[in-house]
Structure 1
Amino acid sequence: MNNNNDDRKEEEQKEDKAPFDEDYEHLLLRREQRGDGAASSSDEDEKQKRNDDGDISSDEERSSEDDDDDEDTEEDDNVNDALRRKKKVSKVRRRKDKENNVSLTSTPTPRRRGAEDTTTTTTTNNNSNNEKKIISNNTNKNDLEEEEQDEGDDPYELTKFVVCGNLFEVKKKYVPIKPIGKGAYGIVCSAKDEKQNTKVAIKKITNAFENVVDAKRTLREIKLLRHLRHENVVPITDCMLPSKEEEYNFNDVYVMYELMDTDLHQIIRSDQPLTDDHCQYFIYQLLRGLKYIHSADVLHRDLKPSNLLLNANCDLKICDFGLARTNTQDKNRDFMTEYVVTRWYRAPELLLSCAEYTVAIDVWSCGCILAELLGRKPLFPGKDYVHQLNLITKVIGTPDEQDLYFVTSDKARRYLRQLPYSKPMDFKRLYPEANPLACDLIEKMLIFNPEKRINVEECLKHPYLASLHDTNDEPVANAPFTFAFEQHNGGEMSEETVRRLIFQELKQLDEEINFPLLRNTHADALEERLQTMRV
């Protein structure tokens, strides 16, 4: 797993919770007084922008960004200063892009179920000497220090090592390789599983219960990834089960994921050539995984390039399910309207504070991602809600009155009605070198009215994906996932409750993976998980 998208802050959640309230009207008023088309970025906007640039920043990148924050406190009246800041950020990004570059196979080869995978082995061998390019590691050699351990055969014997100043205590079979990154919600390093001869990403969530909202996100992802088992969903391969004595007082959570080479965000902003075959294969795998997720009655709600992990052979897996929600009809407003989707990939119904929404929000995000693949830059890089809506309407056109039925906020309706009329842009003109069929698919994905938006199964049947589409190789979930645990005590959970639920999940996960014979009901689940992990 290359990057875990641990980039949300409480400030951003607060900013994005209710756009069409009194404070938002003040923002509109300021924009009118300024007379410009886009509000200047606030501190939260700058933070959003930096977060969108990558899931987890290394120490060097975080330091560079801190320097930029200091500069941003100066007055922006001086154009030369602004240009210097822009050049500095661009220079840092270019350096990071070069360091994180991964060479994809020139022609992706789709793999069908049951087919022997020789591509991965070949790719791994070809890139074994370039491992530094595969995983970002901009830290000092002291950032990864292994301590001496006693010999022993106990499978639960621990080893200790330090990653970026943080102590890791995991099973001895894991030998650390290098740090991957450090974010607000965790520290990640790559490691080798010497018993399985595989590589994993170990994520440590320090003080996991310090914030109950964050702890619920951890619980949600673990539960979901135990339920969702699909080739295009990143699997949990192992975990650290706290001892019985620590059941009611453990503070750190360790989860092991399949290690991937990079993510789509890094590829898009690199110099890596992307052919139409690449774009087709990436969007097909995304939609294939999304079909499975939606069939489990789950909305991902945070699809973006940095949450799509890649290997050098172009295999794609969806990650970060911490914001996922159910798609059942019994919707609770508070349950459905907390912070969702990074702004640039948000559907209009989210920007307009609609109380209810459907799987169509994920399809919108997919359309934005496909457009970003074609143009190598975000399609709607909005600085705030107003700017975001302006960018959307300038590209897809001003919505008709009949397409505003789903907008329940009077303030939002008034704002949309006062927008100047815009005709829809021709995506073939916007991306003249792209496959016209790709442009047609984007146009059908980016429809303002969610009921008129194409769904995932229709996307898979679109002519653009005809060479890849195979209904028999696009499985659905065996059973829907339930978020009943979220409704405990009216949706409120104490720290003790979340800790107990996470312990139960880790215990079941540990039994499924490490002791399948003790629980026959999980034998099939283990086999499916191993099949997904096999190379």
Structure 2
Amino acid sequence: MSSSSQQQQVQEYTTSQVTNNATQEVNKFYIKEYKRLGQGAFGVVSKAYMVNIDKHNANLKKNQTDVDGNVSTDWEGPFAVKRVLAQTEYKSRELDILKVTSHPNIIKLEYFFTDYVLSKDKANPNGVNSGVPGYSKNLYLHLCMECLPQTLQHEITKHTKVQTTIPIFKVKAYAYQLLKGMSYLHNTNICHRDIKPSNVLIDPETLLLKVCDFGSAKQLDNYPSISYICSRFYRAPELILGKTQYAVNIDNWSIGCVIGEMLLGKTIFQGNDPILQLREISKLLGPPDKRFVFLSNPGYDGPLFSEKLFSGSVRDRFESVFKNLKNDFAGVELLMGLLCYDPDQRMSCLDAMCSDWFSELKHVESVKEFKLPKDLFEFTEYDRLVLGEERLKKLTE
């Protein structure tokens, strides 16, 4: 049983029912959590190393030793261990999705287990159910995933502090991988529903990118879903209007916001509340069309921000805001395709991957000190089937 004390730098505990996601083997593990990587509304993430105690004891019986005669302790990791309250009423949607996803640009689930955790609780001075005054004991699900050095948010912030933006070549490498990973999810109708820079992991040395945090993700069906989803600054306009019968392309809007943020060095749309968020969007895209508003939510009776707030065309406005895309037709086309009011007209991840904006990545292995991941334009048979001949030709020619 572990403690969730934030002051404690290292937490050590043993748990007996750890499932290997690849083999489904269940073993006893010793776990050492070194530091807190992040914390949100749904749980905490810590960096950890693990030892398979059953395997270690088997080696002890076989007298398997290292060169110094010591029994070898096979540490595994580092892992990013996400701890969230176990939902006893229904299965964890996040766990179900991570169990079956396998893609180089999607975070990989290595192990998972449930265990009781002591956490501070001022409302429980007598320690009811825990035996420790001021603490409660609750059952938590632990997801042990691969660990990358930092988030895309850290990379953006690092450049902003020195008044620069991420080099265009790196933006393209990250954007392409984000689209590639999300197209894989969307092909199975899995909608992430919270794409933002802090939910995208990167390795700035190798330019590898992986999508993480599937706490809001859902495999969409024909039934309504909640519209109050996705962090506000990255929320698609149809969600702001209250649309409940939406598709995976709400993620594509968020992806456009992330790409734009990498280019600008700051969040594109920063409304102080959900409705004012729509006003911020209208400053770039112009007023939303009344037909779009009606189809999103016939009952919407909020402000429409129908007055145009800029002169010239929407394309002119994009070029004015994203100054580093001036005279970059393909880059502007990509952003305008993703940041589109009408979800039916919004560019798909598959089509966005084929944008001429990414052509540079196909013909070089590196630019200056930036070296690209080797598998950017490698595709499985399933990928090839989904892409289709025309897209595949464009990506591999």
Please give the TM-score of this superposition, normalised by the length of structure 1.
0.52
Instruction: Give the corresponding residue for 1:430.
Output: 321
Cα separation, partners in 2 of 1:172 and 1:386, compared to 1, 3 Å = closer
Where does residue 267 of structure 2 map in the other structure? Answer: 378
Q: Which residue of 1 aligns with 2:393?
A: none
Q: CA deviation at 1:455?
A: 1.1
Aligned counterpart for 1:192 among listed residues 49, 53, 56: 49
Q: Return the letter of the residue paired with 2:254.
A: S
Is residue 317 from structure 1 mapped to residue 190 from structure 2 by the alignment?
A: no
Deviation at 1:478, TM superposition (A): 11
- Report the counterpart of residue 126 of structure 2 in structure 1: none
Q: C-alpha root-mean-square deviation of aligned residues, in Å? A: 3.4
1:302 aligned partner: 194
Per-residue CA distance 1:127-171 (angstroms, 9 max, x = gap): xxxxxxxxxxxx75x432548x9xxxxx9599xxxxxxxxxxx95
- Is 1:225 aligned to residue 98 of structure 2? yes
Task: Quickly say closer, same or farther: Cα 1:285–1:463, change in 2 above 3 A.
Answer: same
1:356 and 2:245 equivalent? yes
Match of 1:449 among 342, 348, 367: 342
> Does 1 or 2 have the higher relative contact order (CA < 8 Å, sep 6+)?
1
Return closer, same or farther for 1:198/1:242 CA change in 2, 3 Å cut-off.
closer
**CA deviation digits over 1:324-379, x for unaligned, max 9?**
22333x2x22xx12531111111111011123111221111111111100001000
Alpha-carbon offset, residue 174 of structure 1: 3.4
What does residue 379 of structure 2 align with?
Answer: 473
Equivalent position to 1:265, from 125, 138, 153 = 153
Report the CA distance between 1:476 and its aligned residue.
4.9
Q: Work out the number of aligned pairs and report it.
A: 309
Gaps of 5+ in 2: 19-26, 52-73, 117-136, 363-375, 387-397
Match of 1:239 in 2: 112
Q: Is the 8 A contact 1:190 1:200 kept in 2?
A: yes
Cα pair 2:115 2:139 within 8 Å, conserved: no
Cα displacement (A) at 1:182: 4.0
**Cα distance change on mapping 1:306 and 1:474 into 2, 3 Å:** farther
| Contact residue 43 and residue 83 of structure 2 kept, 8 A | yes
For 1:462 and 1:396, the matched residues in 2 are separated by 21
> Are residues 202 and 426 of structure 1, via their aligned partners in 2, closer, same or farther at CA, if it must alter by over 3 Å?
same
SS in 1 for 2:103: coil
State how 1:88-487 maps to structure 2 within 5 Å. Answer: 142-146=8-12, 156=16, 171-193=28-50, 195=74, 197-205=76-84, 207-209=85-87, 219-240=92-113, 251-271=139-159, 274-312=166-204, 313-328=206-221, 330=222, 332-333=223-224, 336-412=225-301, 415-416=303-304, 419-423=306-310, 424=314, 426-434=317-325, 436=328, 437-468=330-361, 473=379, 476=382
Gapped runs of 5+ residues in structure 1? 1-57, 60-138, 150-154, 159-169, 244-248, 481-535
Aligned residue identity for 1:390: R
SS at match of 1:222: helix
CA distance 1:381–1:297, shift in 2 (3 Å): same
> How far has the Cα of 1:302 moved from its partner?
0.9
Give 2:68's aligned residue.
none
Cα-to-partner distance string for 1:84-125 (whole Å, 9 max, x where unaligned): xxxxxxxxxxxxxxxxxxxxxxxxxxxxxxxxxxxxxxxxxx
Question: Retained in 2: the 8 A contact 1:295–1:477?
Answer: no
CA distance in 1, matches of 2:353, 2:318: 20
Change (3 A) 1:471 1:278: closer
SS of 1:252's equivalent in the other structure is strand
Is the 8 Å Cα contact of residues 282 and 309 (structure 2) preserved in structure 1? yes
**Match for 1:398: what amino acid?**
P
Deviates more, 1:337-346 or 1:420-429: 420-429
SS at match of 2:92: helix
The separation in 2 between residues aligned to 1:476 and 1:290, in whole angstroms, is: 15
Q: Distance in 2 between matches of 1:407 and 1:283?
A: 28
Q: Deviations over 1:383-427 (max 9, x none)?
A: 112211111111111234454452333434x732x6213453522
Distance 2:218 2:332 in 1: 30
Per the alignment, residue 44 of structure 1 pairs with none
Asked whether the 8 Å contact 2:189–2:220 carries over to 1, the reply is yes
TM-score calculated relative to the size of structure 2: 0.68
1:80 is matched with none
Aligned AA for 1:235?
A: K
What is the distance in 2 between the residues matched to 1:314 and 1:439?
23
- Following TM superposition, by how much is the alpha carbon of 1:439 offset from its aligned partner in structure 2, in angstroms? 2.6
Aligned amino acid, residue 262 of structure 1: Q
- Compare the two structures and name the one with the higher helix fraction: 1
Deviation at 1:259, TM superposition (A): 1.0
Conservation of the 8 A alpha-carbon contact between 1:228 and 1:477: no
Alpha-carbon displacement from aligned partner over 1:44-92 (angstroms, at most 9, x marks no partner): xxxxxxxxxxxxxx99xxxxxxxxxxxxxxxxxxxxxxxxxxxxxxxxx
Q: Which amino acid aligns with 2:168?
A: D
